């Protein structure tokens, strides 16, 4: 009767001491997955499900698309309004047609030629008047013709300058530019709505589950698929209160699991601020031994993708390796 009882005691002692692995104690934990729930901001019929559950996706790969027919029509209307407003601004800013400006330039050349002729005649009349061959009336007439030719040349220059300016006044130009900005803002809003009807994976990972099939109505903001990114898998384990002072954020730990070919390396990045599984009594010397604290660690990127949520692990702390 003593031998079976002794054997049971030995087996229990071996299990508590981590028999079959090594002498260093380990702490129970599991793999936790932080899922991303992918949804479209606008309602509509599900057009396609490009990545069914269980599919591995890369960053930027389309996962699903919601039908965007009415939104595409609204986008085309907004783009047409923006094009119309842009044409109005350009029309107000453009100068007159080149043929009109060419006619005015020809008129200016004629006015300058007439001015040179009037200047020549005025100088001749002044020379003849110096020798008393012409009267003062002839000189006054020549001066009047010169002044008239000069005024015509200046008017031609001013007319060309006016035609080269914008057709509209500055307030009209500013008003047209404001209308263009409003139309472009509405176009950008419509384009954003259309683009968000196709949802892509924000990170590389695995599609864990889907909740709609093509043809079904999807409410606005309702998740269509859940994504488990490779870098959002974590180790969660529990340590007794007596070891809390030894554990620090940034420490590297090592974990083992059934079927794992190599130990899992991870870095501690979270320690719970309060105990879990605490007894509903005032702490005593005996009850303090029941306190455990939750610790989380991020596994190495090259190992994270192979870890499944819920997988049990045994963790060893750095001081015990």
Domain borders along the chain are 11-34+229-320, 37-66+194-228, 78-188
Residue with more model confidence, 288 or 126 = 126
d(CA 162, CA 40): 55
Q: Is 11-34+229-320's fold the same as 37-66+194-228's?
A: no
Question: Closest Cα to residue 199, out of 179, 227, 161, 169?
Answer: 227
The answer for residues whose C-beta is within 8 angstroms of residue 39's C-beta and 6 or more apart is: 199, 221, 222, 223, 224
- Check residues 165 and 68 and name the one with the higher pLDDT: 68
Whether the CB-CB separation of 104 and 161 falls below 8 Å is answered with no
What pLDDT digit, counting tens, does each position of 244-298 carry?
A: 888 889 999 999 988 888 899 999 999 988 877 554 444 444 545 567 889 999 9
Beta strands in 169-287 (DSSP E): 198-200, 205-210, 217-218, 223-229, 233-240, 252-256, 264-271
Let me know how many helices (H) and strands (E) the chain has, helices first: 6, 14
Q: What is the pLDDT of residue 318?
A: 74
**Distance separating alpha carbons of residues 134 and 142, to the nearest angstrom:** 11
- The mean predicted confidence, pLDDT, of the chain is 80
pLDDT > 90: percent of the chain: 30
Measured CA to CA in angstroms, residue 255 lies from 7, 23, 260, 297 at distances of 30, 15, 10, 10
Residue scoring higher pLDDT (130 or 51): 51
Q: What is the pLDDT of residues 200-210, one digit of tens each?
A: 999 999 999 99
Place 15 in a pLDDT band, splitting at 50, 70 and 90: very low
Sheet containing 205-210, strands listed edge to edge, beginning at the edge strand earlier in sequence: 36-39, 223-229, 205-210, 56-57
CATH number for the 11-34+229-320 domain, one of 2.40.30.170, 1.10.110.30, 3.40.47.10, 1.10.150.120? Answer: 2.40.30.170
User: Of 1.10.287.470, 1.20.1090.10, 3.40.50.300, 3.30.750.24, which CATH number belongs to 78-188?
Assistant: 1.10.287.470
Nearest to 316 by CA among 247, 233, 270, 232: 247
CATH of domain 37-66+194-228: 2.40.50.100
- The pLDDT of residue 218 is 94
* Distance linking the first and last C-alpha atoms of the chain: 40
pLDDT at 11 over 80: no
């Amino acid at each position: 009767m003593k031998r079976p009882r002794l054997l049971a005691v030995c087996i229990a002692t071996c299990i508590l001491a981590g028999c079959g692995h090594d002498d260093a104690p380990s702490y129970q934990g599991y793999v936790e997955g932080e899922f991303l729930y992918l949804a479209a901001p606008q309602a509509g019929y599900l057009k396609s499900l490009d990545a069914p559950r269980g599919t591995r996706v890369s960053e930027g790969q389309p996962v699903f698309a919601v039908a965007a027919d009415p939104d595409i029509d609204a986008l085309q209307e907004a783009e047409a309004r923006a094009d119309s407003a842009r044409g109005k601004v350009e029309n107000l800013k453009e100068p007159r047609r080149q043929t009109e400006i060419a006619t005015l330039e020809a008129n200016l050349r004629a006015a300058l030629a007439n001015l040179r002729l009037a200047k020549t005649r005025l100088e001749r009349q002044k020379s003849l008047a110096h020798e008393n061959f012409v009267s003062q009336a002839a000189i006054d007439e020549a001066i009047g013709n010169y002044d008239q030719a000069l005024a015509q040349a200046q008017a031609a220059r001013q007319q060309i300058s006016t035609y080269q300016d914008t057709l509209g006044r500055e307030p009209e130009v500013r008003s047209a530019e404001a209308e263009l900005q409003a139309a472009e803002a509405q176009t950008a809003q419509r384009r954003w709505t259309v683009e968000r009807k196709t949802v892509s994976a924000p990170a590389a990972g695995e599609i864990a589950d889907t909740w709609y099939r093509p043809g079904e109505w999807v409410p606005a903001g309702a998740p269509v698929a859940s994504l488990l990114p490779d870098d959002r898998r974590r180790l969660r384990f529990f340590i007794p209160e007596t070891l809390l002072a030894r554990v620090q954020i940034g420490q590297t730990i090592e974990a083992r699991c059934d079927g794992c070919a190599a130990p899992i390396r991870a870095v501690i990045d979270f320690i719970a601020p309060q105990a879990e599984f605490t007894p509903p009594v005032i702490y005593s010397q005996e009850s303090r031994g029941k306190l455990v604290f939750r610790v989380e660690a991020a596994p190495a990127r090259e190992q994270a993708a192979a870890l499944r949520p819920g997988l049990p692990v045994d963790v060893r702390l750095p001081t015990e390796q």
